[in-house]
A and B are shown apart, each in its own frame.
Chain A
Amino acid sequence: MTDDDHVFKALADPTRRHLLDQLFERDGRTLTELETDLEMTRFGVMKHLRVLEDAGLVVTRRQGREKLHFLNPVPIRLIHDRWIDKYAERRVSALSELKTRLEGRR
């Protein structure tokens, strides 16, 4: 799998997107904090966090006895640069081309 595959796979799950949203609201959380509002076993949450870590979307740091989870938004930015920009731009230029052509007809 390429890096992009890992990111798309990680994002293709509502629980994992929920975990990212939680970290977006407040970063640097422990597993215990993250599992409180999920109806899922601790192992289930750990498995999802592992997928997010493998995709580089979550980075962990040890702080004393605790392991803190941080959101890393860089892979999403790279997906944005690679995919969203490209197609959105083409659409915009196609529209402006159409506009030029229609206006030229007048």
Chain B
Amino acid sequence: MTTTVAQTTQVYQVFIKASAEQIWEAITRPEWTARYFHGAHITVTPERYDSRSADGDLWGDSAVEVFEPPRKLVHGWRSMYDPEMAAEEESRVTWEIDEDEQGVCLLTVTHDRLEGAPKTAASVSGAGWTGVISALKTLLETGKPLY
């Protein structure tokens, strides 16, 4: 296997058979995120991105840069669930939701500004974001969590 430096800009895309509003709900409300995002209870307000474990431990706490329901969300990212990664510089996550006329949405997640966060970059790449996004798709399309 080739060893590789984790990418400082990562792009993930998937079509989801759901409305833009449903997807927006699913990425901004804790009762939804807990079912596909490694159990994280995530609450997004126009000001703050707040992620907590089931026990209330702080997993993420960053400013929200763009809050345009149900189309675009941009927030900071710091992996506070791991002390080494928590010490790295903050990176940025952008969620874009584009709905077509048949009610199918294209969800694009871009995780960038990872230059100062190599451990975080490696940890979210590959199975990290792909797992979260495919679980979100499965949850919205079937009503069942993947795991």
Q: Which residues of A contact B (CB under 8 A)?
A: 3, 21, 24-28, 56, 59, 61, 70-78, 81
Contacts and interface: CB of A to CB of B under 8 A. Distances in A.
Contacts of A21: 2
The interface centre, meaning the residue of B2, B11, B13, B131 with most chain A CB atoms within 10 A of its CB, is B11
Contacts of B2: 21, 24-25
A14 B131 CA distance: 26
B133 interface: yes
A21 B9 CA distance: 17
Interface residues of B, number: 21
The interface centre, meaning the residue of B9, B126, B138 with most chain A CB atoms within 10 A of its CB, is B9
B108 A59 contact: yes
Contact of A27 (B7, B15, B130): B7
Given A70-B9, A78-B137, A3 B4 contact: no
A28 B11 CA distance: 9
A72 B137 CA distance: 15
A45 B13 CA distance: 22
A27 B9 contact: yes
B130 A77 contact: yes
A28 B13 contact: no
A73 B134 CA distance: 10
B20 to A, nearest CB: 18
The interface centre, meaning the residue of A26, A28, A74, A75 with most chain B CB atoms within 10 A of its CB, is A74
Interface string B59-92: 0000000000000000000000000000000000
Contact of A77 (B10, B11, B131): B131
A74 B10 contact: no
Contacts of A61: 11
Contacts of B14: 56, 74-75, 78
Nearest to B108: A59
